């Protein structure tokens, strides 16, 4: 089966980096399909290379040994992904299912290169929608008292299904550091405001009370601090005095769906690198 | 000279309000050119009527006496404006002159129905640009020590020129309540962020540090609390990791110009009513 | 059951129209919840009134007789709708089901005040998705030879189910004047370009060939002339040289969904009036 | 003076291209500040490299000789630009001066890295605005009879001032192939519609007549065929039934200014490569 290779690199910027990397690829007869590069203000170099699998001289199991000396020389962090090994995604959701339904439809339509082995919810309402796609649905209800226990079950499932990416598709529970740390930079949340405005609960109510003329949504990696992780994507919609909180919720659903789907697709295509609390997105 | 009449009304909502008002106009042979109406969640009625001046049976000096009984009956706040008496606008600016230049160009092109009798700045750099339009330019420098004195001079000038609207076109001084109160709902500020995010100084630096993917601008009426007054207009632009603070400042200038100009035009056309800390904008 | 009344009017503009109409409503003890009004360049008056059902003195069966004399006096076209009688919508679709799925989800989420008694397709692939919502799915395949016969079956079904609005949710067959005339101003199509650019087949291929930097979608009422009917809503997305035709199709799906859903919602809420080949949309 | 070097390359795609080019730069001790690359559907490779001037081992006069063998080997088209030699821009304008004023302001504010040695107009109204920036203004009126003669004068001026880029900032005359050919891919026009819709005269009137809900603007390189050259940038604004042709003209001015300024800046920063009738824009 034909596939491509995606190589992500970040390291201190130095002269000759691109030459060194691209020569390494050329030496092994690799055909570079696309190359993106960025140097941050603080002098850190980020790169994303897509190499054609066919004809590339290094087998999957050989790449690491061959690339390590170069990586060491330049103090690189690097990751390699193969498009014939799509990421395995778990979606967590609560009652609001618009993001879930949207992701499932896009996945089914081929927009999201992933496997979705399971959906987890603390409610039951989305069960039939999920199962219609042939995806196992796990109902893990939660109360203040059972939080830890429920999270352990979640972690167990994520582990059992070898999950690469956790998508919080309007999952309205705050996760403890235990879970957050286990999926650092591998857990995407959609927050229904243009962060950093309206952190926390009921952002549309907050927005309406403040009388804003735009509402928005933010997809970000989850960190310990609530709604403060690296932002991947944001967008907004215009509202007017006529829009009630209910209208904002309706309008916002559309923005949330779009923003989350884009962030998830970018992550699945290995387009997102993290630079401290900022993201580098090679669109 | 042909002119139109703009009647703004707000009062508690009641049955028969539109009939009462439009019948009053019809009784005096008025031709309604446009009518906009809105009832807030809290049950307050807002209306903007544009009536053709020609043929209307009430002279300017007669309207008040004729309308007052109806207004009293319904507990109306009301204001009336005549398009042959354009508002008189003062622009206050500091070093950054992009909003000023934009407003002057639009005014000259006929986009802003107003008179601009003066521009005030705490710097001198914009003087020649302003004077090229034949508009008096006042340089009123300010330090911590001279703030009160300078504000008194500003108030004196605003008074002398019978100013109806004060536009803070990137005027980087915080005004004291004395000035704010004198021009309540008649003073528009442009803040260079999508409020309520990034209140206060250096919002683009704040935005860059937070790693947001959108930047924005907000035009609002000035109140005592910094950047917290009723919002008239907001818009955003998308940014990426490649955009430095300087890029954000450049991109933001465009958003600021657009957002401020729209808010000022709406105010000049009597399209903005204030509902607590929110605005009703009849676009 | 509590309901509202929507009254749509268009007629030659005359003095006193708003007074006459609103006084009529007031006389019958009606509470006007919202009123929108517009006078076109050509001097035609358009109005949309929403009146609270409760307390209104005219019963459904009485309204016509009571209103007709006024309507005659001002040469009004008028229509009245009751929110407790939601419109009955038929969706026609071909292979591409993204607009269909989106409409069904929104309908299920309460965003679209309608009944959807059936979906018709010339393909079978969407059957299970439709039936999951408990909606009958009719498969009516069509070839050049059977077009007339198939259209007759469509008309029969639309008639049988008393359909008020036909939505062509990427239905890729050109309908004959017979069908078009039967649902004039009651049939909405989504075209996958920003009309009038790229009329007809394969607009994304056309767009890619032309090298445009935006793609778009247009929802319009269907008329005899292909893609030339009154436009209800349009929107766009930005694209770059990196976007292939396939990318444009993916990006476009999102725009199509959004544009069609908005047009359908506006129609269902009786916000769209037709003014020649233009629409008046009271958002 | 510190400067950067911009190297633009296009050639048939081949394995090892990036390695060959970046190794060439590394061999000469060049520090690559940014690298963008793209392979078109048709298999053509496009690249933009920015190299730090300081420390680069090839002097300006040496680069050509050193790079030619590599360029020949890969059949490259290539161009090199130095940021200490900004492009020389001539602006052509007719009566409408909003794009001109905007470009001049941006240039003065440092947004456009260029020299502007002259402005040419077939009208006189913009003279004082141009001269306020210390830029020579040439009035070259034109009639059907004098077109050729006037164009010769234009060409003479462009030649005399060693112009690199001609910006048609709402210059409402159609230029003959003689001028077009002399500045192929070096002449940018702003058309006031979202092309390919509304080619030619009075696009806002056309847009209003068609009843569109968006209007737009397109910046493109000028070719012999009217409004058909490679598109660099496009954007739109939403309009409603309330917007008259005059409103559209006002709203459109804003879009035109933005779209043209962006296209000009991209060209000045050597971000635009032409691929047949399409552009590759490395933003």
Q: What is the pLDDT along chain D (283 residues), one digit of tens a residue?
A: 699 999 999 999 999 999 999 999 999 999 999 999 999 999 999 999 999 999 999 999 999 999 999 999 999 999 999 999 999 999 999 999 999 999 999 999 999 999 999 999 999 999 999 999 999 999 999 999 999 999 999 999 999 999 999 999 999 999 999 999 999 999 999 999 999 999 999 999 999 999 999 999 999 999 999 999 999 999 999 999 999 999 999 999 999 999 999 999 999 999 999 999 999 999 9
Question: Which positions of chain A have pLDDT values less than 70?
Answer: 1
For residue B281, the model assigns a pLDDT of 98
The arithmetic mean of pLDDT across residues C241-260, rounded, is 97
Which residue among C196, C212, C238 sits closest to D210, beta carbon to beta carbon?
C196
Residue B113 and residue B37 in one domain: no
CA distance B112 to B188: 15
Chain B residues near any Cβ of chain C (below 8 Å): 15-20, 22-23, 25-26, 29-39
Cα–Cα dist D253/D190, whole Å? 11
CA angle D217, D218, D224 (to 5 degrees): 135
d(CA A281, CA B243): 12
Task: Among C35, C63, C82, identify where a domain stops.
Answer: C82
E strands within chain B?
Answer: 4-12, 32-39, 44-52, 77-82, 87-93, 114-121, 137-139, 165-168, 187-191, 214-221, 231-238, 272-275, 278-281
Q: How many inter-chain contacts (A to C, CB under 8 Å) are there?
A: 17
- Is the link from the previous residue into A238 a cis peptide, with omega within 30 of 0? no
Say if residue C1's pLDDT is above 80. no
The tens digit of pLDDT for each residue in C93-106 reads 999 999 999 999 99
Q: Do D277 and D168 share a structural domain?
A: yes
Q: Chain C residues with CB-CB distance to B under 8 A?
A: 15-20, 22-23, 25-26, 29-39
Of A15, A30, A37, the CB nearest to D34: A37
Nearest CB to C281: which of D196, D236, D240?
A: D240
Q: How far apart are CA C98 and CA C1, in angstroms?
A: 35
Q: What is the pLDDT of residue B9?
A: 98
Task: Please give the pLDDT value at position A13.
Answer: 97
Domain-terminating residue out of C28, C49, C82: C82
Distance CA D206, CA A224 (A): 55
pLDDT tens digits, residue range D97-120? 999 999 999 999 999 999 999 999
Task: Search chain C and give the residue with CA nearest D39.
Answer: C242
* R_g (Cα) of chain B, nearest Å: 20
Q: Mutating which of D35, D95, D105, D260 best tests the B interface, going by the most B Cβ atoms within 10 A?
A: D105
Q: Which residues of B111-136 are buried (b: 16+ CB within 10 A; e: fewer)?
A: bbebbbbbbbbbbeebeebbeeeebe
One domain for residues A108 and A48: no
Of A196, A231, A242, the CB nearest to B213: A231
B109 and D132: CB-CB below 8 Å? no
Chain A residues with beta carbon closer than 8 angstroms to that of D32: 15, 17-18, 37
Which helix (H) or strand (E) segment is D251 a member of?
helix D245-268
Identify the band that residue C30 occupies on the pLDDT scale cut at 50, 70 and 90. very high
The answer for residues whose C-beta is within 8 angstroms of residue C60's C-beta and 6 or more apart is C82
Residue A258's pLDDT is: 97
D18 and D137 belong to one structural domain: no
For D170-188, the pLDDT digits (tens) are: 999 999 999 999 999 999 9
In order along its 283 residues, chain B shows pLDDT tens digits of 699 999 999 999 999 999 999 999 999 999 999 999 999 999 999 999 999 999 999 999 999 999 999 999 999 999 999 999 999 999 999 999 999 999 999 999 999 999 999 999 999 999 999 999 999 999 999 999 999 999 999 999 999 999 999 999 999 999 999 999 999 999 999 999 999 999 999 999 999 999 999 999 999 999 999 999 999 999 999 999 999 999 999 999 999 999 999 999 999 999 999 999 999 999 9
Tell me which DSSP letter residue C162 carries: T
Q: Which contiguous run of DSSP H or E holds residue B18?
A: helix B17-27
Cα separations (Å) of D78 from A26, D45, D106, D159, D163? 22, 12, 29, 23, 20
| Domains of chain A: total | 2
Give the residue-averaged pLDDT of C28-33: 97
The partner residues of B77 in beta bridges, in order of sequence, read: B10
What whole-number distance in Å separates Cα of residue D197 and Cα of residue D207? Answer: 9
pLDDT of residue D81: 98
Residues B145 and B33 in one domain: no
At C59, list the tokens.
């019963």
Q: How many angstroms away from the CA of D14 is the closest CA of chain A?
A: 8
Q: Check whether residue C95 and residue C226 sit in a common domain.
A: yes
User: With the C-alpha atoms ordered C163, C169, C172, C174, is the resulting torsion angle positive or negative?
Assistant: positive
Residues A12 and A118 reside in one and the same domain? no
Q: B150 with B118, same domain?
A: yes
Give per-residue burial for D236-267: e unless 16+ CB within 10 Å, then b. Answer: bbebebebebeebbbbbbbbbbbbbbbbbbbb
Q: How far apart are CA B41 and CA D151, in angstroms?
A: 63
Q: What pLDDT is recorded for position C70? A: 98
Q: At what angle do helices C98-108 and A98-108 cross, to 10 degrees?
A: 160
Specify the pLDDT at position D108. Answer: 95
Residues of chain C contacting residue D38, judged by C-beta atoms under 8 Å apart: 241-242
Domain identity same for B35 and B145: no
Indicate if B227 belongs to the active site.
yes
Residue A168: beta bridge partners?
A92, A189
CA C114 – CA C227 distance, rounded (Å): 25
Q: Which residues of A touch C (CB under 8 A)?
A: 98, 101, 105, 109, 111, 128, 132, 242, 250, 253-254, 258, 283
Residue with tokens 């857990």: A187
Q: Quick one: pLDDT at residue A122?
A: 98
Size of the B and D interface in Cβ pairs below 8 Å: 17
Q: Tell me the mean pLDDT in the region C66-76.
A: 98
What CATH number did the domain enclosing B67 receive? 3.30.70.260
Tell whether B166 and B64 lie within a shared domain: no
The residue segments making up the domain with residue C50 are: 4-82
Q: The complex's ipTM?
A: 0.95
Instruction: List all residues 6 or more positions away from D208 whose beta carbon is below 8 Å from its beta carbon.
Output: D243, D244, D245, D248
Confidence of residue C270 (pLDDT cuts 50, 70, 90): very high
Residue partners of B72: CB distance under 8 A and separation at least 6: none
b or e along B31-46 (b: 16 or more beta carbons within 10 Å of the residue's beta carbon)?
bbbebbbbbbeeebbb
**Of the listed A10, A97, A102, A227, which one is catalytic?**
A227
In this structure, are B103 and B137 located in the same domain? yes
Q: Point out the domain boundary residue: A82, A105, A136.
A: A82
Strand order in the sheet with A114-121: A137-139, A114-121, A87-93, A165-168, A187-191, A214-221, A231-238
Q: Tell me if A46 sits within 8 A of A72, measured CB to CB.
A: no
State whether B250 and D111 contact (CB < 8 Å): yes
The token pair at A196 is 């950093």
Domain with B229 in it: what CATH number? 3.40.50.170
- The string of pLDDT tens digits covering residues D254-276 is 999 999 999 999 999 999 999 99
Nearest by CB: D211 against C212, C230, C241: C230
Query: What is the spatial distance between Cα A253 and Cα A187, in angstroms, rounded to a whole number?
Result: 20
**For the residues C184-198, what does the mean pLDDT come to?**
97
Q: Give the N- to C-terminal CA distance of chain A in Å, as an integer.
A: 26
Could D210 and C240 be called an inter-chain contact, meaning their C-beta atoms sit closer than 8 Å?
Answer: no
If asked whether residues D78 and D155 sit together in one domain, one would say no
Report CB contact under 8 Å: A101, C105: yes
Chain B: touching chains (3 or more CB pairs < 8 Å): A, C, D
Q: Which of B4, B30, B32 to mutate to test the interface with C (most CBs of C within 10 A)?
A: B32
């Amino acid at each position: 089966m034909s596939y491509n290779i995606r190589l992500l690199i970040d390291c201190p910027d130095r002269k000759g980096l691109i030459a060194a990397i691209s020569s390494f690829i050329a030496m092994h007869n690799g055909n570079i399909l696309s190359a993106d590069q960025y140097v941050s203000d603080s002098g850190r170099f980020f790169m994303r290379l897509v190499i054609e699998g066919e004809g590339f001289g290094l087998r999957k199991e050989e790449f690491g040994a061959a690339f390590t000396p170069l990586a060491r020389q330049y103090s690189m962090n690097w990751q390699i992904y193969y498009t014939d090994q799509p990421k395995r995604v778990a979606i967590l959701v609560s009652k609001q299912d618009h993001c879930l339904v949207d992701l499932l439809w896009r996945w089914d339509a081929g927009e999201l290169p992933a496997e979705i082995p399971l959906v987890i919810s603390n409610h039951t309402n989305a069960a039939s929608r999920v199962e219609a796609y042939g995806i196992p649905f796990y109902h893990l209800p939660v109360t203040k008292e059972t939080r830890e226990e429920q999270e352990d079950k979640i972690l167990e499932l994520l582990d059992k299904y070898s999950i690469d990416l956790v998508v919080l598709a309007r999952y309205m529970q705050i996760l403890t550091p235990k879970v957050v740390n286990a999926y650092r930079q591998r857990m995407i949340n959609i927050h229904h405001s243009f962060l950093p405005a309206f952190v926390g609960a009921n952002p549309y109510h907050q927005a309406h009370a403040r009388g804003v003329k735009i509402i928005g949504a933010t997809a970000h990696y989850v960190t310990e601090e609530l709604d403060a992780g690296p932002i991947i994507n944001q967008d907004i919609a215009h509202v007017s005095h006529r829009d009630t909180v209910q209208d904002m919720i309706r309008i916002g659903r559309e923005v949330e769906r779009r923003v989350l789907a884009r962030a998830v697709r970018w992550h699945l295509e290995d387009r997102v690198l993290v630079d401290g609390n900022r993201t580098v997105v090679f669109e």
